[in-house]
Amino acid sequence: MLTLKENFYRLLHPKIVFLLTSVGSDGKHNVMSCAWATPASEEPPKIIVCVSKEHYTAELILQTKEFAINIPTKEMVKAIWICGSKSGRDVDKFKEANLTKTKASKISAPLIKECIGFIECKVTEVIDVGECYAFVADVVESMVDERYFKKSVWIDNTIPMHLGGKKIVYFVS
Ligand SMILES: Cc1cc2nc3c(=O)[nH]c(=O)nc-3n(C[C@H](O)[C@H](O)[C@H](O)COP(=O)(O)O)c2cc1C
């Protein structure tokens, strides 16, 4: 058996990669690529997302306690890379990645029009877990484009998955 030291978490990949949108108390929007998330409860509906304390996204979520998960298609890999390698502190990633903002229904963080699944969340608890904050949140709305999601399952070869690290993205086939 091989002992894993630093990258133990890769045993839990591939994971769906999504675009995490947020808003600051000054109304500024941001988007980052994210894979470390899990459903945490069905009743009440809860989710946990882990974000590095250093990321601009963490700063914004701490301010407004809101975020949205936007699930991209495989055609959006370039946007995923831009949103996962640059900081909203330095650039407007919506512009750089050609992403169109739309209004969410229950939160003020934006949604991304090009995406095909959405979960709107309100943070109820922030847990300090070392390099990351774990944002525990209520799911206040969730929607999907039913062309890509049949009988509660993503259809094959639609959504990108993340193997771990910053470069490896592949698709369910
Ligand atoms: C595929 C992919 C998945 C990522 N997953 C996470 C994650 O789960 N948590 C995290 O904190 N950063 C993750 N990152 C890194 C952030 O997206 C990246 O550092 C980003 O530039 C932070 O942006 P911000 O400063 O605008 O918030 C991921 C990057 C990529 C490319």
Q: How far away, in angstroms, is 103 Cα from ligand 1 center?
A: 23
Residue 83 maps to a domain? yes
Q: What per-residue confidence (pLDDT) applies to 157?
A: 81
Residue 130 maps to a domain? no
pLDDT at 33 over 60: yes
Task: Give 2-46 as a DSSP string.
Answer: PPPSS-GGGGG--EE-EEEEEE-TT--EEEEEE--EEEEETTTTE
CB-ligand 1 contact for 63 (6 Å cutoff): no
Q: What per-residue confidence (pLDDT) applies to 172?
A: 55
Nearest residue by C-alpha to atom 3 in ligand 1:
34
Q: What per-residue confidence (pLDDT) applies to 115?
A: 98
Closest Cα partner for 27 from 60, 53, 59? 60
pLDDT at 167 over 70: no
The share of the chain scoring above pLDDT 90, in percent, equals 86
**How many distinct structural domains can be found in the chain?**
1
Residue 44 maps to a domain? no
Nearest residue by C-alpha to atom 7 in ligand 1:
34
Q: What per-residue confidence (pLDDT) applies to 166?
A: 64
Average pLDDT over residues 46-56: 98
Q: What per-residue confidence (pLDDT) applies to 163?
A: 86
What's the CA dihedral at 68, 72, 77, 82 to 10 degrees?
Answer: -20
Nearest residue by C-alpha to atom 5 in ligand 1:
34
CB-ligand 1 contact for 92 (6 Å cutoff): no
Average pLDDT over residues 147-161: 90
Residue 50 maps to a domain? no
Which residue among 18, 19, 32, 159 is best mutated to probe the pocket of ligand 1, counting the most ligand atoms within 8 A of its Cβ? 32
pLDDT at 164 over 90: no
Nearest residue by C-alpha to atom 10 in ligand 1:
51
Residue 80 maps to a domain? yes
pLDDT tens track for 125-136: 999 999 999 999
CATH of the domain at 87: 2.30.110.10
Q: How far away, in angstroms, is 151 Cα from ligand 1 center?
A: 30
Residue 2 maps to a domain? no
Q: What per-residue confidence (pLDDT) applies to 40?
A: 98
Residue 129 maps to a domain? no
Q: What per-residue confidence (pLDDT) applies to 5?
A: 82
Range of the domain at 24: 13-35+55-122+141-171
Average pLDDT over residues 74-86: 94
Position 170 confidence tier, pLDDT thresholds 50, 70, 90? low
pLDDT tens track for 90-120: 999 999 999 999 999 999 999 999 999 999 9
Residue 88 maps to a domain? yes
Ligand 1 atom at minimum distance from 22 CA:
27
CB-ligand 1 contact for 28 (6 Å cutoff): no
